[in-house]
Amino acid sequence: MKRIALLGMPNTGKSTLFNRITGASARVGNWPGITVDLMSAKVLMGGHIVELIDLPGLYDLHGFSDDEQVVRHFLSNNEVDLLMIVLNSSQIDRQLSLALQIRNLGLPTVLLLNMQDEAKRSGITIDSASMAAKLNMPVLQISAKYGDGCPAALQKASQQLSVVNAKILPEEISRRLEAENQIEAEMQAIVKTTVQLPLKLADETTDKIDKVLLHPLLGLPLFFIAMFLLFQFIFTVGTPLQGGMAWLLGEFRTLALEPLLANLPTWLNGLLLDGIYNGISTVAAFVPIIILFFLVMTMVEDSGYLSRAAFLMDAFMAKLGLDGRGFVMMLMGFGCNVPALMGTRVMRSRGMRLLTMLTIPLSLCSARLQVFLFMIAALFTAKQAPWVMFALYMVSFGTIFLTAVLFKNQFQNKEPFILELPPYRFPTAMQIWLRGWQEVKYFLKRATKFIVFGVVMVWALTHYPTDVPPASMGTLAGQIGALFAPILNPLGIDTQLAIALIFGFVAKEIVVGSLAVIYGLQGDALMHHMALSLDWVQAMSFMLFTLIYTPCLSTIATLKSESKSSGFMWLSIIWSLALAWLVSFIFYQSARALGF
């Protein structure tokens, strides 16, 4: 089997091309010589079965960021049959240096000049044949977004794989990587003779939009208004979908599962229906909203707007000891904390990186989002729901900023912030679907793995010993909840909610499923029961604690591996627990004092 490595600078459309080639077949794997996972997929390319690996974006093979080291370590420890370099055609005069560096490794290479549609609109023309002759490698112009030129690029890659070349071992690559390459003059000479740049790039549309969205006074308010409108859209469209899914799952239990399992022993019937099915179906009912959330956020991310948000926030973030990149990582953490933590490798300053990593677990990730969607749907009206969700996001930002202020002196940074703003792009339906599906698939994989484990454990704890009523104080769950009562009662969090929080240490996806098991209800019946059992103050206190307290085990493990420090990991755990208790306590006691 042949192996192709896909690499290029950030924001060149490399991931878009990877998704277009692989579809939904990509998987995550680990590789010799590196400590992080990389996306890869097996695809048919010409007459070859090819393993395509998506390497991190990098600016320079000789840089010092973790992403650049990952690429070097991969090439130094793994045999590669072909490199496919992806560069931005409209920025070729600044990006060609990477192709020259990679050429000097001696590996078979194909250079793909992506975003040819944008280059054409900007008045840039590239003589790809002449450039190919000067670089001594195939050069093709493509648009990964629309698929233009991609079949020809894959055909050329297949042809290159068929060419018999002397095998270059990773050890030789490692030696060549150590050599310094003086290529600036050569790059300028190639660009001068093969690329025609207009006197002024045609970017009037982007400039006009940026005058509004990057306005020093209006920029941030517009960003937060846009986020609120997104939540409004998600709840307006998603709530009916969630209700329909809950109804279907309830009917399936009543009409199919209950008759089918009626003759089983009582304990096994209860485990399968009240335990596993109730837990999984309650979570599954919210999958339509989760899907909608990821599709919308994928569209916003790929449009280039999040880079503008980082630019707007940079001056403010600098006062906190962070920068605009940290803000982007926090926004990434709204999807999942784990890749956001790994994304901090682009920061060369260890102090900056640690401070950013300390704040990321406070981002409202998709697993927490599921808990909030459930609680909000149960206790708040459709008009109140977007405001409650928006408030939780604002609290998330507030805890992030507070953490940065308190710890910035412990993790100091002197690294300058450089951010390149991409032009505005409206992603295609295929891009939105592929990116969104990757996120949803990852969420479903994690949710299925943790929820089945969690709901079985919760069912056992709430049903043993068998001589007491289920979920009563006499069960194991009740006894565990009683231990935490002195700590959580001042927050308005009762024994049942305490049990859900305990299992939330493993993964926040378990929280909603565990509530279904604890109360022996699912869907609308569970939400109705929650509305009768709790008032809005208790619900908000519970959601605030869930938002801030210790992240899932995957995030904790990533914190330890990325920081290479057990002490830093424990600092994050203890701080988040203390902050969660303090925020929930202040809110709950203040609301009660005001008569709510």
Q: Residue 185's pLDDT is what?
A: 65
Q: What is the pLDDT of residues 259-281, one digit of tens each?
A: 888 888 877 887 788 777 876 77
Sequence-separated contacts (24+) of 395-399 with Cβ below 8 Å: 395/544, 395/547, 395/548, 395/583, 396/362, 396/363, 396/364, 396/547, 397/330, 399/362, 399/547, 399/548, 399/579, 399/583
Least confident of 122-136, 312-326, 568-582: 312-326
**Widest Cα–Cα separation across the chain:** 86
Which residue has 């600044």 as its token pair? 94
Structure tokens at 310: 């980082």
Q: Describe the strand order of the beta sheet including 2-8 as a list of residue ranges.
A: 27-30, 37-45, 48-54, 2-8, 82-88, 109-114, 139-141
Q: Which residue has the higher pLDDT, 151 or 65?
A: 151
Average pLDDT over residues 528-535: 88
Q: Residue 451's pLDDT is what?
A: 66
Write the DSSP assignment of 147-199 as a string of letters: TBTHHHHHHHHHHHHHS--PPPPHHHHHHHHHS----HHHHHHHHHHHEE--S
Q: What is the pLDDT of residues 172-196, one digit of tens each?
A: 766 766 554 455 567 677 877 887 7
pLDDT at 240 > cutoff 90: no
Let me know: does 43 contact 22? Beta carbons within 8 Å. Answer: yes
Give whole-number Cα distances, 480 to 107, 288, 458, 484, 486, in Å: 60, 34, 11, 7, 12
Distance CA 415, CA 559 (A): 22
Q: What is the pLDDT of residues 536-570, one digit of tens each?
A: 999 999 999 999 998 777 788 778 878 888 899 99
* Alpha-helical segments (H) within 320-426: 324-333, 337-343, 350-359, 366-379, 384-407
Q: Residue 15's pLDDT is what?
A: 80
Let me know: does 376 contact 388? Beta carbons within 8 Å. Answer: yes
Domain with CATH 3.40.50.300 in the chain: 2-196
Neighbour count for residue 118 (Cβ, 10 Å): 22
pLDDT at 356 > cutoff 60: yes
Q: Residue 32's pLDDT is what?
A: 44
Neighbour count for residue 182 (Cβ, 10 Å): 6
Distance CA 411, CA 96 (A): 35
Neighbour count for residue 353 (Cβ, 10 Å): 25
Average pLDDT over residues 216-230: 80
Q: What is the mean pLDDT of the chain?
A: 79
> E strand or H helix at 70, and its extent?
helix 66-77
Q: What is the pLDDT of residues 41-89, one digit of tens each?
A: 888 887 788 899 888 888 777 765 667 778 888 888 888 889 999 998 8
Distance CA 336, CA 366 (A): 6
Q: Residue 284's pLDDT is what?
A: 73
Structure tokens at 348: 């060369």
pLDDT at 343 > cutoff 70: no
Q: What are phi and psi of 364, to 5 degrees?
A: -80, 95
Distance CA 23, CA 19 (A): 5
CATH superfamily, domain 2-196, is: P-loop containing nucleotide triphosphate hydrolases (3.40.50.300)
